[in-house]
Structure formats: C-alpha cells, structure tokens
Homo-oligomer: A and B are copies of this chain.
Amino acid sequence: MPTPARQARTMPNSAAAVIAELEGLFGRRLATDAAAREAHGRDESYHPVLPPDAVVFAESTEEVAAVVRICAAHGVPVVPFGVGTSLEGGVGALTGGISLDLSGMNRVVRLSVPDLDCTVEAGVTRKQLNAHLRDTGLFFPIDPGADATIGGMAATRASGTNAVRYGTMRDAVLGLTAVMADGRIVKTGTRARKSSAGYDLTRLLVGSEGTLGIITEVTLRLHGVPEAMSAAVCAFPDIAAAVDTVIETIQMGVPVARIELLDEVEMDAVNRYSKLDYPVQPTLFFEFHGSQASVAEQAETVAELAADHGGADFQWATLPEERSRLWQARHDAYYAAIALRPGCKGMPTDVCVPISKLAECVVETKRDLVESNLLGPLVGHVGDGNFHLCLVVDIADPDEVERAEALHARMVHRALAAGGTCTGEHGVGYGKLGFMETEHGEGLAVMRAIKRALDPQNILNPGKVVRI
C-alpha cells in the first residue's frame, strides 16, 4: 500500500491544450480553481489529495464522450468522479488530467415497476434512488453505508450490509452505458434477467473503477419491499462465539438480509458517537425480510443459534424508527471510529474470506492489532465473510503509519492464504495495487492485456487497478 507523496507537478502542455478546448464547450462548467481541484482529488480515506488539472461538470453521456475524445486526442488522463466516497484513492489524479464530475447526471431515466428494474444516470445516489422509489413498493437494496452514486458503486463493485441476501453491484447491474477510451458510446446488457449472448461486458465494466470505460448510465435490478422487516441485536461473550453464530445461520440457509459484526472497540466508539448504551461486547446486528411468518421464523431460528453460543439479550425491533436507530449506529461506525482520536485519519481495511476461515482470521487480526499497538475497531459484513478494521492513524507519525501499513499487509496476506481476497468491496484504486500480483498471479497479465486492448493510451483513470 505505497502512498504516493503528493507530486509537485507542472501541468503539461497537452493538459493546457485540452483545457482550452474544453473551455469553449463547457464554459462555467469547467473549473480550474484550486478549491474545485482539491475537492476532486480527495476521497474519504487517509490517501493524500491528488488534484486534477481541471474539473468538468458533465450533464450527458454525449458530453462525457466529447471530453474523452478531446483527452484522447491529446493523451491526457480522465478520472471519473461521483461524490468522492471512495476509500482506496480511486479519484486521485496520479498523473493529473481532467476530473469528470458526473454528479450533475442525476436523473432517473426510466422505471418499470412490473419488471422490477430502472435505468439511472451515473450521478444518482442510492438514497436519491430510494427516495424516488418510495410509494412504488420497490427498493434498491445495496447499501455501502456512504450515500455514494450508483455510477461509483458500479465502478467499484460495491456492496455493504445487504449483500448477504441481495448480492453486490455485480448482481444488481443488468446493463450499462459507458464511454470507452476512444469516446465511443457502448450499451452493455439488456433488460432481460439473463443472457448467454456473448462476453459479459457489463460484469467486465462493473468493478473496473473507470479504467476501461466511464459508466454514464446504469440499469438496475430492484426488489419488492418485503411485507415485513425486523431487526435484532445480540451481544456475545467473545468474537468467536459471534462468528460461529453467523456461520451456522448461513449454513442453515436462513435468508437473513443483514448480519453485521461490531467488535467491543467499535461498540464503545458507536456508544460514544451516537450516545447509545449498548453492552461493550462483540455484537451482531441482524435484519430479517419476508412475510410476517417468515420473519418471525427467521428471528426465532437465529435467536436459538445465538443462545447456543452464549448470545445474551437478543433484542428485536420491528418499528421502522427503532430499526433506523439501530442501523444508524451501524452506519456511523466509520465516523465513530475516527472520532475516537480527533485529528487522526481513517485507514480502512477490507478483506473477505471463506466463512469457515472467518473466526480464525478475525481473531488473529485482533491479536496482531494489540501487538502492533494500534487502534482499529472491527466491523464486518460477516454473512459474506467480509470484515474491516478501521485503523485510526496519526498521519503525522511516520512510525505509526508504517506499523499500520505493515499490519494491513499482514491482514491481506492472511486473507489470501485463507483463499480470500484483498478487497471485498472497497476496490483497488492505487491503495491495493501492491496486492494484485499475489492475489491474481498470471491473471494480472490477462487484466493488463484487456486494459491495453481497450485503453491503449492508458488515459482512463491511469495508475489504478492495474499498473501498465
């Protein structure tokens, strides 16, 4: 996880030429001031700000294509930007160029209630979409915590708390509109639920982080709002007991919508941040969706499994406001963690392992944390085997940063040794580039061949996902 020093760059002539051309087309929707550039070179993590040379606020796929064509003519990088909630440096302009801000492309283009699908522009956020869907009986389940854009979520193959039941962006995206490196506009997929018609370009672009094409529209699969929803919280004597409860729940095929683990450090942080009084113990948060009968059945099954593992005081909440309060605590986990040490930054980690290895990986990671003398609350979408340490790091202390990076690397290698991945949902950006070789081996050469074939000049978000 090498953190590039903020580069003292002078703008190349080619970028100046691009900016001159873009000015004619975009007028006041082109920004070159320091504030706009800084804002577009920053994500939500500890990664340094890497500002682009200019920012364009695009309002249509055709405008995105025009920007890419101009950049391609001059060999200047284009970095797509949604609302800047990425965590691995995905929006940093490593070699300058144009930041393409898509937040103004925020129209819901089409909604079909009978087909449970819709098409949205890339800049629509998940909360905006769910507000739009209110009263239709449908919802969009994928919830990474942050109110990210749908385009950004597709680009990083995001997931979050509901993935154990509803899948990730890989599953939610039926098709895309994307602008390729030569400015060509491609529509992938169809509105059919399945297809065997050729290479899965949709899935190739999902998770490609803007390095193969710039996603401008997304066709999404939606779900019916369940007849009943209930949430539950349960504290455990230790983390292994909590994880074992999760494993048995999944193995029994209970169709839980969410199973989230917060360790005792995170519970303490959440209590302080959100003024709550949960027991300071490893805790599971559950959510059940289905018919009234099914939800009750699921909760009873899980309560029994939890009790078998020493889970105490299994609390249910069916009222919407109670459920919201409970999930707000979970959603604030990242900010609550950072608030533990004012002035410090979050260094989020993100591994995913086969569920049989989860307890072992979590316990070893927590031991390593103590031995490394670092603060890092643990949260996990444990139904998927996905967990995070939110390392809270004093960026001004090089020794602490070094210890944090070393701990992170050990955590990743532990996950890879267990048959897992270096990132379950945050993406590679440039923060995880160093782990790609170990995870993919010869597959990385295949990824590079695809990148070279589709972006021969390496202008689309260069320096991310694969190093050319």
B-binding residues in A (CB < 8 A): 112-117, 156-159, 163, 167-168, 170-171, 180, 184-188, 190-201, 203-204, 206-208, 212, 223-224, 226, 247, 250-253, 255, 290-291, 293-294, 297, 350, 352-356, 384-386, 415-416, 419-428, 432, 435-436, 439-447, 449-454, 465-466
Contact = CB atoms under 8 A, between A and B. Distances in A.
A355 B184 contact: no
User: Lowest 7 A-B CB distances belong to which pairs?
Assistant: A453-B453, A203-B203, A191-B419, A195-B421, A192-B352, A224-B253, A114-B356
A198 B112 contact: no
Contact of A443 (B167, B186, B353): B186
Contact of A163 (B194, B251, B386): B194
Contacts of A247: 114
B193 A384 contact: yes
Best-surrounded residue of A112, A353, A421 (most CB of chain B within 10 A): A421
Given A186-B446, A204-B203, A450-B453, A384 B294 contact: no
Contact of A200 (B117, B188, B206, B350): B206
A200 B211 CA distance: 13
B199 A204 contact: yes
A343 B284 CA distance: 63
A114 B197 CA distance: 34
Nearest to A436: B198
Contact of A352 (B112, B195, B421): B195
B199 A207 contact: yes
28 contacts: A114-B247, A116-B250, A116-B251, A156-B196, A157-B196, A158-B196, A171-B171, A186-B442, A186-B446, A187-B442, A187-B443, A188-B440, A190-B439, A191-B354, A192-B415, A194-B424, A196-B207, A196-B425, A196-B427, A197-B440, A198-B428, A198-B447, A199-B450, A199-B451, A201-B447, A203-B203, A204-B204, A226-B253
